[in-house]
Structure formats: structure tokens, C-alpha cells
Amino acid sequence: MKVLKDKTITDVQNFLASGISGGLKKSGKKDLCVIYSKVEAVGAAVFTTNKVKAAPILLNMENIKSDNIQAIVVNSGNANSCTGKLGIENAKKMGETAANSLGIKPKEVLVQSTGLIGLQLPMDKIIPAIEKGCSMISNTGGSDAGEAIKTTDTYAKSIAVEFEIDGKKVMMSGIAKGSGMIHPNMATMLSFIVTDANITKEMLNKAFKSSVDDSYNMISVDGDTSTNDMSAILANKCAGNSLIDCEDEKFNIFKNALDFVNVELAKMIAKDGEGATKLLEVSVLNGKDIKSAKACAKSVITSDLTKCAFFGADANWGRILCAIGYSGADFDPEKVDIFFKANSKKIQVAKDGMSLPFDEDLAKEILLEEYVKVIIDLKDGKENATAWGCDLTYDYVKINGCYRT
């Protein structure tokens, strides 16, 4: 597999996109994106587990059942969440407008919105913006699409890879947004993946849901699960590989590429957490079972006290052990070893659940890096899990203390 620099979703065969300003954001920045496959495509998606689901999510949960999903339309600046029956109607109008503009059926369109909760969509702006966005789709619009889905993100998140199946080159690319209200079992994060792989809807769905569990569902910025979270993938079968219709070697090659794309996008989201200064990676080794390993990793990456310690470059490993302790995981506290690592530097700060002498200066040097890894060895089994997040800073409070104003 090869990572393709400077490539994006519109470099995948027969995918077009656009990103425009529809006037939803006061800043005048891009706020509406359209992604379109020129040929029929199969789709899969995962949605927020929040009981309060935004109107687009409710619509998409039905539309994703369609055999053909050819388009995705997304607006930023307004979440269309907690907007009642009118919100549902407006989400449907978004899909209908895109479908009419692109010559496909409304059920073949996925719709998404992100931004402030509780406001009705300004349809006098949305409808013409969608029509304009559909008219401007091109094979160079991928970067603009990535810009248009941002809210408090500081940069557009994109990745593209190429790999081989049956000697045929297959491409996969994705864009994502997310900075705050991130605690998926999906969170205020969106990701849209496109590929030209030839794969059935059933196998795409199986691969995607499994991949999301080990990527987006293993990140946390602030512990808040949004009403609008969504991750979707479209596959238009243009690569020419033989059909992936079972869990064979071809499926595994595809799944490995998908895992890489999703993990990299998830890490970009975690790194860009609101006000964050560093990306944190927590790896739990040798758990009794995968459920326990994941619970420990996610608990540490979600702990506010631990995140604050990392902001201050304070080697307060006790907060890590504390977070494992309330995770609900099955483990023996008297076996736990904890290490910090950054680049080539590594230090052990706890052994068998207890303190041991360590170089405080080296520990601080490691914790001052922009990418810090925490390694937790439970010494209790063979299962491993990794989670990603960021530190908790003064700026996070500033950003969210005046989000509406």
C-alpha cells in the first residue's frame, strides 16, 4: 500500500466533488460540499449512538439501505439537530435538491449537516447552494470539499492511498472533520471515504463497521458524543478487480487499507482537538480480552485529569492507573506497567501498579513533544487496543465558552 501525497477524493476514478460558500457562515468561508460518483456505487455508514439524533441522521439511516448511493451533500454552520418535523422535511429537501440536480433518486443521496444545534436550516440559502454545488462538481474539487465541511477545525483532514487487488490498482481516499464534541461511538465528527474497489454492499458494510470500531470509536477529545456523528463510504467498482464477495485474501487487503485510512483520519481529528497542543496515543497491551483492553485505552484517553497532566507535561502516572481502575475492565492492578514514549525516547514510570524511580527531566522532555505515546502493559492476556486523543487546555474552555457568540 502506498500513501498518495497531494491526492484527494476526486483523484479516485469517477468521483467528482465541490466545496462552495453558500452563505451559511458569517465568515463567508466554504460551507457546503457535494461528493458524487458518476456511476452507481454501493454505500455503508455508521451513525451516532446518541439517542438525540439530528434530522439528517434519521434520513440517512433509511437511505443507506438503498442498493445505489451516488451522492453525499453536506453543509456546515448549522447542525439541523433538535429541529422537529420541519428539520426532517428540510433534510429531505436537501436530498431531493441534490438528486434533481444530479439526475438520481433522493434515496440515493446521503445528507449531513454540522454546526450549531437547535437552529432551523436557512433553506433560502441551502437550496440554491446545493444547486450551485452540484453544478460545480469536478475532478479537482476534492480539496474544496474538505474545506467546506470544517467547523472549528484548524485544518482540512484528507488522505489517499493506493493498493493492489488481483494485480489491479485500487484507490481509496477520505476527508474528515472534527475538533470538539468528540467522543465517538460516533461524535461531532464526520468522515467520507470513497474508493473504486469492486466490492459487494454486504462486504463493504462488514469491513466498514469493523474498521470504525477500531478507529473513530477509539478517539476522544472531550467525552461528548454528538447528535450528528456520521462516517460513510462509497465504492463505485471502477478499479476492475474481481468482486470482493466474501472474507478472503482480497477482502483482507481491502480491509487493511480501509483501517489505515480510518485510523489516520481519526488521529488527525484527535490531534486537532479544540485548543489541543499535542496528540496522545494510548496503547494497552496484553489485556485479558479485547473488551477490557479497549475499555482501559478509552478510559485513559477520556480522563480529564490525565489530559490536563499531559498539557502541563506532568508525569502523573497515578491518574492513568486511576482511569484504568474505573474503566470497568477486568485486570489485576498489581500487574500494571506504564511507560511514556515520544520519538526514540522512552521511560517506564510505574511497575506492577507501583511507583519506581525514574528520570523526571526525561519524562518531562517526552511529555513536551507534540505526539506522546502511553504504553500500558496489563500482563494479563494477549489482547491489545489503541486509543487516541489530545490534551485539555485553557483554549478548549475559551472556544466552548463562547461557541454560540
DSSP designation for 225: P
Which member of 8, 10, 48, 188 is catalytic?
188
Burial class (CB in 10 A: 0-12, 13-18, 19+), 405: exposed
Q: What is the rounded radius of gyration, in angstroms, for the C-alpha atoms of the chain?
A: 21
Instruction: Give pLDDT, residue 396.
Output: 73
Instruction: Give pLDDT, residue 210.
Output: 94
CA gap 9, 76 in Å, rounded = 19
> Which ranges of 33-111 would DSSP assign to H, the alpha helix?
55-63, 84-102
Cβ pair 300, 324 in contact under 8 A = yes
Domains of the chain: 2-271 (3.60.70.12), 279-401 (3.10.20.340)
Annotated active-site residue 188? The verdict is yes
The C-alpha cell that represents 57 in the structure block: 441522521
Instruction: Give pLDDT, residue 181.
Output: 46
Tens of pLDDT along the chain (405 residues) come to 999 999 999 999 999 999 999 988 878 899 999 999 999 999 999 988 788 899 999 999 999 999 999 999 999 888 899 999 999 999 999 999 999 999 999 999 999 998 888 899 999 999 999 999 999 999 999 999 999 998 778 888 999 999 999 999 999 999 998 765 444 443 357 899 999 999 999 999 999 999 998 998 888 765 455 567 789 999 999 999 999 999 999 999 999 999 999 999 999 988 887 778 899 999 999 999 999 999 999 999 989 899 999 999 999 999 999 999 999 999 999 999 999 999 999 999 999 999 999 999 999 999 999 999 999 999 999 999 999 998 888 877 776 666 555
One-character DSSP codes across 265-309 = HHHHHHHT-TT---EEEEEEEEESSHHHHHHHHHHHHH-HHHHHH
Instruction: Give pLDDT, residue 145.
Output: 97
The C-alpha cell that represents 87 in the structure block: 428539520
Instruction: Give pLDDT, residue 153.
Output: 82
Would residue 178 be called left, alpha or beta, if left means φ above 0 and alpha means ψ between -120 and 50 degrees? left
